[in-house]
Amino acid sequence: MRAIGRNEKAVAPKVGDVDDALVRLRTVLRDYRQALTAPVAGMDASVLDATRHLTRLASLPIPPSTTARLGTDALRRLAADRSEAAQALAHAARLGEFRFGPDDSPWYGVTFSSTEAARAAHELAGRLHSSSVPALLERGYELIAQTHMRPFATIDELGEYLRLLQGIRDSLDRFSPTVFERPLGELIQAHGSRRDAPGLSGANRRRLRRLAKEYVRPGVHVTEMHESLLRIQAQRTQWQRCVEAGVAPEIPLGLADVYVAWQRVQAELAELDVALGRREPLASLPVARLVRTLAGLAAKSDVFENLVERAQLRDRLALLGLEPLLAELSVRHVAESQVGEELEFAWWQSLLERALQDNRALLGANTAVVDRLERDFRLVDEAHAAMAGPLLAWQLANQCGSRSSTSRSSRSISVVR
């Protein structure tokens, strides 16, 4: 009787929140498990396949360790079969492609149409290193030392110095040296348009024009005085940036010969830039760095062996999207016997990282999150199971109450009758 009384007093347990939590956790864990075994979009391989292959590769005597990653297009191109790419990589290694990296030879990655073109570029670098550049630097330093200009830092700057000196020489052929010592602003205004100097009176303009003629050398007639004065003012500004204050312009001996030598070296450096595909011109490098670079380019190297064939293989592999892997294998000097495993590792690891990035159901491969979800699921499941007793008691109470109500209604009807 006491048990019946307790059941009749049972109230409905609040199972809604527990049921909702149980459904949510079950859905997340189910999606996680399905994502592990489902093929990655566009590939015939799953995350579980990737982990199995990566585990196998990690257990090799010399496990691959490339940090290169392949793009989505490369993953798709190589999804069905990577044997041909592996063979091409092995062939490239056999030809010596991975013996040289970016830090081993300045010729790394340079492409030539023929071996003869490569040899010609190498000979040009040797000539620049052994004779052309050293001779120009020696003559250039001697020339600039006559002018009190600060030493030039690059071949390009030497060219600027030489052009400036030539311009000053042309100006001094027609004007006296004092023109570089006097302010020229008013003289330029006097020879310019009236609109540029409306406040300058006619008398003052004529006086300034007569003054300007005093700077002209005897027997010389200057027809374009305004342009000449502007040019001299620009030359003086540039000169003052190259010398200490108060130093007057000087024209050194041998200027023409050094300028011809500079033009030749500049053209040869530009030709070598084109051959190397350089973005930073050699002539713009600081002199010490230029000398070191030319020494590396001129040094005897095996990088020219099979150069064209290796370039063709490199282009073929680049079309497959393997450029990052090629560069890294060259830096690490990977042997022919290992390049196949490096390709497999790069492909499977790239696939795994792409899947983790694109599929949120994988939870970013965060095992701590998965462990926590499993613990929460067990707790919620236990709570759900614990509510079975109170829920049954409440259901029994409802049934007993319903029968009692029906019995009382029947007795009432009998009394009325």
pLDDT in tens, 395-414: 556 665 554 444 444 444 44
- Alpha carbon distance 152, 253 (integer Å): 17
The token duo for 207 is: 């006086």
User: What is the total count of domains within the chain?
Assistant: 2
Angle between helices 115-127 and 255-276 (to 10 degrees): 150
pLDDT at residue number 216: 81
Could you report the per-residue pLDDT of 161-180, keeping only the tens digit for each? 999 999 999 988 888 888 88
Q: For residue 44, what pLDDT is reported?
A: 81
pLDDT of 107 reads: 80
Of 112, 92, 105, 98, which Cα lies nearest the Cα of 310? 92
**End residue of a domain, out of 227, 251, 275:** 251
**Nearest Cα to Cα of residue 190 among 158, 169, 214, 154:** 214
Residues 6+ apart with CB under 8 A from 314: 92, 97, 111, 326
pLDDT of residue 212 exceeding 70: yes
pLDDT digit string (tens) for 66-108? 999 999 899 999 988 999 999 999 999 998 888 878 777 788 7
- d(CA 272, CA 128) in angstroms, rounded, equals 10
Which pairs count as long-range contacts for 198-201, CB under 8 Å and 24+ apart, including other chains? none
Q: Is 105 left (phi over 0), alpha (psi -120 to 50) or beta?
A: beta
Please state, in angstroms and rounded to a whole number, the distance separating the CA atoms of residues 160 and 166. 10
- pLDDT at residue 411, as a whole number: 44
385: helix, strand or coil: helix
Count the alpha carbons within 13 Å of 161 in the hemisphere toward its beta carbon.
27
Question: Among 358, 382, 404, where does a domain finish?
Answer: 358
Look at residue 329 and tell me if it is in a domain. yes
Tokens for 215, please give them: 């700077």
Reduced to 3 states (helix: H, G, I; strand: E, B; else coil), residue 76 is: helix
14 located within any domain: no
| Interatomic CA distance for residues 110 and 308, integer angstroms | 10
Give residue-wise pLDDT tens across range 105-118: 788 778 787 878 88
Lowest-confidence segment of 156-165, 294-303, 388-397 by average pLDDT: 388-397
Residue 182: the pLDDT is: 79
Q: Are 166 and 244 within one domain?
A: yes
CA gap 76, 81 in Å, rounded: 10
Domain end residue (candidates: 317, 332, 358) = 358
Residues present in the chain in total: 417
Task: Evaluate if residue 392 carries a pLDDT over 60.
Answer: no
Q: With bands split at pLDDT 50, 70 and 90, how would you rate the model's confidence at 33?
A: low
pLDDT computed for residue 344 by the predictor = 95
Quickly list H helices, 42-197.
47-58, 72-77, 83-94, 115-127, 133-145, 155-174, 185-191
- For residue range 308-341, list pLDDT tens digits in order: 788 888 889 999 999 999 989 998 999 999 999 9
Q: Residue 85's pLDDT is what? A: 93
Tell whether 126 is covered by a domain: no
Domain assignment present for 19: no
Residue 380: predicted pLDDT: 58
Range of the domain at 156: 147-251
The verdict on 185 and 235 lying in the same domain is yes
Whether residues 232 and 154 fall in one domain: yes
Tell whether the model's pLDDT for residue 277 goes beyond 60: yes
At 369 the pLDDT is: 56
The answer to whether 121 touches 112, Cβ cutoff 8 Å, is yes
Same domain, 87 and 182: no
Identify the helix (H) or strand (E) that includes residue 212. Answer: helix 202-213
Per-residue pLDDT at 301: 76
Give the residue from 294, 296, 298, 299 showing the smallest Cα distance to 155.
294
Single out the residue of 338, 298, 290 nearest to residue 127, CA to CA. Answer: 298
For 162, other C-beta atoms within 10 Å of its C-beta total 23
Lowest mean pLDDT, pick from 135-144, 146-155, 183-192: 183-192
pLDDT at 368 > cutoff 70? no
Q: pTM for the full model?
A: 0.64
CB 185 within 8 A of CB 263: no
Q: Is residue 11 part of a domain?
A: no
Which of 116-125, 150-159, 251-260, 301-310 has the lowest average pLDDT?
301-310
% of the chain with per-residue pLDDT over 70 = 73
> Does one domain contain both 227 and 151?
yes
